[in-house]
Structure formats: C-alpha cells, structure tokens
C-alpha cells in the first residue's frame, strides 16, 4: 500500500500548457536549497511520413501500468542522483504539432547533477513506459509512432 501513496499522477489530458510549466517552476522558488533546475520539453513534430505531414499525435496508455513504470523510474533517479525534486508529466489524448507532450523537471543543489538526472529520466521514459502514439496525418489516416 505504501507504493500507492507515493505514485504521483503523471498524465495530463491533452497538451501540456506553457502556463502549467511556468507554474510548476514558480512553485520551487520557496525551496531555497535548490541551486539548479533543468527541464525537458517534448514537442510534437510535423514529420512527413510517406509524403503526408503529421498534424497531431493521439497518446494512449494502460495508465495504471504506465504510472507504476513512471514511479519506478523516479525512484531509480532518486537513488542514483542527489536531486531535490523531480516531476514527470506526459500527455494522454490528442496533442497537435507544436504542442508539448512531455515535461520533465529536475531540481538539485548543484547544476551538474540535473543534467545527468534529466538525461537518465528521458531515456528511461522513452525506452520503458508503455505509452502509445497514434500519429494522425493530414489526410486523417494514421500510423503508430515508434520511439528511436
């Protein structure tokens, strides 16, 4: 049961807004032991697939399983790096090109660790969290996204 208490909600319906990102950063100003923050913002690209432009990605997931995986990744990062805070938010539902779909935010007393921890987090998320992206093309056809 203790694990359930620690599992934070990661999914955000639709795009992650600039206001949400700004508010998340502002909330850390009172934590004066923090000396560095680093953020990763994943944005939906307008790739061209078989001559058709991607206009959106519709994200889906088995949310309970994905939230558990996010929890495991967070715990691994806290064990491996001396970070003060870390937050992960991922879109669920439709996100248009140019909009933010992934927001990872790391804080620590010193700057070097935030770069290392952020790299670790993003790579682990892309490699192991069961999130599926249906790339919607300009003619309303679709293809399933594969992470590289």
Report, as an integer, the average pLDDT of 79-102.
Answer: 97
Rounded Cα distance, 112 and 38, in Å? 10
- What is the mean pLDDT of the segment spanning 100-128? 96
pLDDT of residue 147: 66
Asked if pLDDT for residue 54 goes beyond 80, the answer is yes
Query: What pLDDT, in 10s, does the model give residues 11-49?
Result: 999 999 999 999 999 999 899 899 999 999 999 999 999
Cα radius of gyration (the chain): 16
Q: Say what the pLDDT of residue 88 is.
A: 97
Average pLDDT (69-92) is: 96
Does residue 81 contact residue 36 with C-beta atoms inside 8 Å?
A: no
Q: In the predicted model, what is the mean pLDDT of the chain?
A: 93
Please state whether 140 falls in left (phi above 0), alpha (psi between -120 and 50) or beta. Answer: left
Contact 42, 123 (CB under 8 A): no
Q: Please say if the pLDDT value at position 93 is more than 80.
A: yes
Q: How confident is the model at residue 146 (pLDDT cuts 50, 70, 90)?
A: confident
Domains of the chain: 2-144 (3.90.1170.40)
Res 7: pLDDT: 74
Q: Report the predicted TM-score, pTM, of the whole model to 2 decimal places.
A: 0.91
Residue 148 pLDDT: 61
| Contact criterion met (CB below 8 Å) for 142 and 52 | no
Share above pLDDT 90 across residues of the chain, in percent, rounded to a whole number: 89
Neighbours of 102 (CB within 10 A): 22
């Amino acid at each position: 049961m203790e694990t359930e208490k620690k599992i934070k909600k990661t999914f955000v319906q639709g795009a992650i807004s600039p206001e949400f990102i700004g508010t998340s950063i502002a909330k850390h100003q009172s934590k004066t032991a923090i000396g560095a923050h680093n953020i990763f913002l994943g944005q939906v690209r307008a790739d061209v697939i078989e001559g058709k432009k991607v206009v959106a990605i519709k994200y889906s997931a088995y949310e309970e399983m994905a939230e558990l995986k996010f929890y495991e990744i967070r715990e691994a990062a806290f064990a491996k790096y001396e970070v003060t805070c870390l937050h992960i938010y991922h879109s669920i539902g439709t996100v248009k090109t140019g909009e933010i779909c992934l927001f990872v935010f790391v804080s620590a007393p010193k700057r070097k660790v935030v770069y290392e921890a952020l790299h670790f987090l993003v790579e682990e998320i892309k490699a192991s969290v069961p999130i599926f992206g249906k790339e919607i093309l300009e003619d309303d056809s679709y293809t399933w996204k594969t992470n590289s």
